[in-house]
Chains A and B, each alone.
Chain A
Amino acid sequence: MAGGKKSKNHPIDEDLDFQQKMWRIQRAGWVVLALLMLVTVLGLFGGGPLSSAQALDSSGLLQVDYNRFVRMQSPQTLHVSLDEAAVHDQQASVWVSQAFLDRVRIERIHPQPERVTAQDGGQIYQFSVRGPLQVTYDLQAKGPGVYRVELGLPGAEPAVFTQVVYP
């Protein structure tokens, strides 16, 4: 017992062993707090280098910029970029799997799609466009979990990625 001498005169019951243990745990806790700050800066909870990621579909014409880590009921954005080669007759379409759409609330799609059609277990958003297309989906995840996102051009193999949604 470091520095611990118990005598009958002491007014209280000290437990120095326990106190030492507690101090060690406290120090460890401080380290954990510091690490928490660090991984937050790095983006483990969204919005940092660890979090931002890109996915390409099989044709390479569609690219999605997304966050690997997002939080439930807080805003997130998917940036979808379509190559000019994916535009036909000034029309371009993006297919999103229904399984993913069921788990998010769509706040806004920009630009607004001309038509939305349900097809192939998902929805096809059709845009009128000249040149390459940039679409942003502003979303909110409804609940926590690991989301599998499938997003691509209609009729082609979609880009597949996962998002971790924190509670």
Chain B
Amino acid sequence: MEILIRTAAVYFFLLLLFRIGGKRSLSQITTFDFVLLLIISEAVQQALLGEDFSVINAFLVIATFFAIDIGISILKQRSKAVEKVIDGVPLIILEDGRPIQERMDKTRVDEADILAAARELQGLERLDQIKYAVLERSGGISIIPMPEAKSG
């Protein structure tokens, strides 16, 4: 019983923390983010397992995580509102080659991030070649290029 509460507490605490942190918290994983992730997992491990190092305990923790995760994904499927709260909504941060500064500030995305995404995804070089840049729910940036006629 206690192990379920521990696991659920950790799950929802992390969910809350990452929602507060914003979309970009760990989406584009730099080397240091990766290290951070490892440290977080290390810190969480003690709280999850306590002093019980039995296999059953580990199984219960993992099973509980899966159960909560499946439960939430079902909830998200059924309710748009739940999905929005947990995953957030996508946001246009650049339109017709013009960055929307206010939104970029709030989401802590800068032009360099957009340009990086444009290069990686579409092989574009300049902002004016981009019709839309969208900050997706996953935290990644997707790029929709200008139609050929306009950019040429």
Contacts and interface: CB of A to CB of B under 8 A. Distances in A.
Interface of A: 2-3, 10-15, 18-19, 22-23, 25-26, 29-30, 32-33, 73
B100 A18 contact: no
Interface centre among A3, A19, A23, A25 (most CB of B within 10 A): A19
Contact of A26 (B22, B100, B134): B22
A73 B50 contact: yes
Interface in B49-80: 50-51
Interface residues of B, number: 19
Interface in B83-134: 84, 88-92, 100, 102-103, 106, 132, 134
Contacts of A12: 90, 92, 134
Contact of A33 (B20, B22, B88): B20
A29 to B, nearest CB: 3
A14 B22 CA distance: 17
Given A23-B106, A33-B20, A15 B144 contact: no
Contacts of B102: 2-3
A25 B19 CA distance: 9
Contacts of A22: 88-89
A19 to B, nearest CB: 6
B84 A15 contact: yes
Contacts of A23: 106
Contacts of B103: 3
B134 A11 contact: yes
Nearest to B9: A167
A11 B134 CA distance: 9
A10 B90 contact: no
26 contacts: A3-B102, A3-B103, A10-B92, A10-B132, A11-B92, A11-B132, A11-B144, A12-B90, A12-B92, A15-B89, A18-B84, A18-B89, A19-B88, A19-B89, A19-B91, A22-B88, A22-B89, A25-B19, A25-B20, A26-B19, A29-B16, A29-B20, A30-B20, A32-B20, A33-B20, A73-B50
